[in-house]
Structure 1
Amino acid sequence: MSFYTSLNGLKNAQTELSVIANNLANAETTGFKKSRINFADIVSGTASSNPKLVKGIGSAVQSIDQNFSLGPTQQTGAALDLAINGEGFFTKVSPVTGKTFYTRNGNFGMDGAGYITDVQGNRLQVLPVDANGNVTSSTPQDAQAPATNGAGAELMSVTVKADGAMIAAYADGTVTELGKVALASFVSPPGLLQIGNQDWQATGISGPASYGQPGAARFGTMLSGSLEQSNVDIAEEMVGLITAQRYFQANAKAIDTATQLSQTIINLRT
């Protein structure tokens, strides 16, 4: 029994090492959120067992939780590099599949058709506004800057204000508000499904997304010309790495000791 108990410990230690290694590998990944592993004990007993004789038979991985604490902000100077100074996620839609993704990575640019996109081509979503800049609908839409305005003047630049207003400036000096950056919130963010590229998708655990504009409710303001960096603390992860290594070594030693005991019993002579 001790072999299997320690074997569970070895597998759990290997999983913990994998989680820590992934955190360290993404210490410089923009918008990355670190993970933490939680263990649960396993016991051998039934409802009729004497509670004073119930013994543990190892542990199991209970969950791998994501930590959505804010990471440090780095200034880049690029107008379409965005960071959220608070809670929420940027919302993106794939023009190919129509799937919706959520991210804290605000590294955006503009494609040839004027859409504001990430490096994969997913389109940033904004909330539509009226002529006075008031949000008219809670349903997000693609952020797109027309190449020319009604007077035929060419697009010069697109900037984003602290309240999420996306402003397109044209050669004739006119400006047009394209909408306000749509921020998504969830009842349970740790329930979001990681799909890579610092993107998440909603699940039944996270609940559906509810949308708002920067500065409203619990949403923070928008920082233009900045990017949120990974929230991985390298010193903390290194301490966890040492602890996980000792955990692995201790379980390996327990297996070695059990092997020696078994060998001693087998070698007994009558």
Structure 2
Amino acid sequence: MVVPSLYVSLSGQMALERRLETVARNVANMETAGYRADEVKFDSLVKRPGKDPVTFASTGENYISRQAGAIKQTGNSLDVAIEGSGWLGIQTGNGVAYTRDGRFQIGVDGILRSIEGNPVLDSGNAPIILDPLGGPPEISKDGTIYQEGRQVGVLGLFSIPEDAKLSRTGNSGVIPDAIAEPVLDFAENGFAQGFVEGANINPISEITKLITITRAFESTNSMMQSVESIRQQTIRKLGEG
């Protein structure tokens, strides 16, 4: 059982390495507005069933957490935070993506853009165009945008299916593998102007995870060295016999 023990330990180290990568990425993005943390779902794999089954750790499956981040007030008329579980639509070089980062800017062409320069979309996936000289916009809970008392556009708010798999794009954007539908009910969903949502990352929790993973990796490495030492001793004794 010495060799299987080495393989089990190695599988554990591979899983820990993957978890370490996700935690490090989360720590690096703690201050990124609208960022959604990486998490890993682990399963065990039984590779040798029987009287003495050998269970290996899988490297895990990454997924993006949808838990909301903390909201902070900025007072900036071009900042909005999302209430509820919806997403803003933005047009990127990879197609339509979705984000919770509601920091906007108005281009010289009047197009409302994300902080990364991507056009912000309405519910029909069309860019929103404002008057660059029309003064600060007023944005209502349902996303209606006014300038000087005149309606000039409506922010799109989209719902991504719960079972959709998300992939990353840009700083805080995601692209789902399913169709996102416009949100029509603004009783529990909507926008809050003058606020920004932060990353959904708990700094203390992530630092604690880093320490725990590092210690687990060191412990597994120590065990592997012990198992290898036993294997070498066994080989020598068999050779002497």
Q: Same fold (TM over 0.5)?
A: yes
Q: Residues 17 and 241 of structure 1 are in contact (CA less than 8 Å); yes or no, is this contact kept in structure 2?
A: yes
Which residue of 132, 141, 157 maps to 1:162?
A: 141
Q: Deviations over 1:32-77 (max 9, x none)?
A: 111221221122336xxx4xx1422421123122211111111111
Opposite residue 198 of structure 1, the aligned amino acid is S
Aligned pairs (5 A) from 1:29-108:
29-45=32-48, 50=50, 53-94=51-92, 97=93, 99-108=95-104
Q: Superposition RMSD on alpha carbons, in Å?
A: 1.9
> Aligned residue for 2:31?
28
Opposite residue 40 of structure 1, the aligned amino acid is D
Give the Cα–Cα distance (whole angstroms) in 2 for the partners of residues 226 and 45 of structure 1.
54
Q: Output the TM-score relative to the length of structure 1.
A: 0.81
Aligned pairs (5 A) from 1:138-217:
139-146=124-131, 155-169=134-148, 175-188=149-162, 191-203=165-177, 207-213=178-184, 215=186
Give the Cα–Cα distance (whole angstroms) in 1 for the partners of residues 31 and 117 of structure 2.
22
Give the Cα–Cα distance (whole angstroms) in 1 for the partners of residues 138 and 94 of structure 2.
26
Give the Cα–Cα distance (whole angstroms) in 2 for the partners of residues 146 and 84 of structure 1.
23
| Pair 1:194–1:259, CA change in 2 (3 A) | same
Opposite residue 192 of structure 1, the aligned amino acid is L
Identical columns (%): 23
Q: Residues 32 and 171 of structure 2 are in contact (CA less than 8 Å); yes or no, is this contact kept in structure 1?
A: no
Q: Residues 44 and 58 of structure 2 are in contact (CA less than 8 Å); yes or no, is this contact kept in structure 1?
A: yes
| Residue 13 of structure 1: how far off its partner (Å) | 0.8
Q: Structure 1 regions of 5+ residues with no counterpart?
A: 128-138, 148-153, 170-174
| Residue 98 of structure 1: how far off its partner (Å) | 7.5
Give the Cα–Cα distance (whole angstroms) in 2 for the partners of residues 126 and 45 of structure 1.
54
> Aligned residue for 1:242?
211
Q: Residues 159 and 167 of structure 1 are in contact (CA less than 8 Å); yes or no, is this contact kept in structure 2?
A: yes
Give the Cα–Cα distance (whole angstroms) in 1 for the partners of residues 45 and 109 of structure 2.
57
Q: Structure 2 regions of 5+ residues with no counterpart?
A: none
> Aligned residue for 1:231?
200
| Pair 1:155–1:214, CA change in 2 (3 A) | farther
Q: Aligned residue pairs: how many?
A: 236
Opposite residue 39 of structure 2, the aligned amino acid is R
Give the Cα–Cα distance (whole angstroms) in 1 for the partners of residues 229 and 90 of structure 2.
58
Higher helix content, 1 or 2: 2
Structure showing greater radius of gyration is 1
| Residue 119 of structure 1: how far off its partner (Å) | 2.9
